[in-house]
């Protein structure tokens, strides 16, 4: 009697658990990037900076270029972020200070 309902619930549960894991990589990065304005370096920033926390962790901040450089160093030194290549680091730094820069 109750079996069909149970089966439906099981299928739903499996979909819920497996759904996010089966998202394409690009799609996954895109969803983690929610809250990051469009612009050069957005993809790199999303890839590197949303691996451990949501973009919301930093998208509310307004910092100078030096301030962002310090944030990146902190992530590497204190939170074991793997150090990006220099060119990627620079792209991210430029993206952050352009779109999340301190008011002039």
- Residue from 27, 57, 64, 66 touching ligand HEC (CB under 6 A): that is 57
62 touches ligand HEC by CB under 6 A: no
Between 8 and 54, CB nearer to ligand HEC:
54
Sequence-ordered list of residues with C-beta below 8 angstroms from that of 4, at least 6 positions apart, any chain: none
- Residue from 46, 58, 95, 97 touching ligand HEC (CB under 6 A): that is 58
Q: If you ran DSSP here, which 8-state letter would residue 63 be given?
A: B
How far from 30 is each of 47, 55, 89, CA to CA, in Å? 9, 11, 19
Taking the complex as a whole, how short is the minimal distance between the CB of residue 91 and ligand HEC, in angstroms?
11
> 6-26 burial by CB neighbour count: b if 16+ within 10 A, else e?
eeeeeeeeeeeeeeeeeeeee
64 touches ligand HEC by CB under 6 A: no
Q: Give me the residues that bind ligand HEC (CB under 6 A), please.
A: 48-49, 51-53, 57-58, 61, 71-72, 74-75, 79-81, 92
């Amino acid at each position: 009697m109750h079996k069909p309902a149970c089966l439906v619930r099981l299928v739903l549960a499996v979909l819920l658990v497996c759904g996010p894991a089966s998202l394409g990589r690009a799609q996954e990065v895109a969803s983690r990037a929610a809250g990051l304005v469009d612009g050069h370096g957005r993809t790199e920033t999303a890839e590197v900076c949303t691996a451990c926390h949501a973009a919301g962790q930093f998208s509310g901040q307004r910092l100078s270029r030096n301030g962002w450089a310090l944030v990146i160093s902190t992530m590497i030194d204190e939170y074991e972020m793997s150090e990006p290549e220099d060119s990627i680091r620079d792209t991210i730094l430029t993206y952050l200070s352009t779109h999340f820069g301190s008011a002039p």
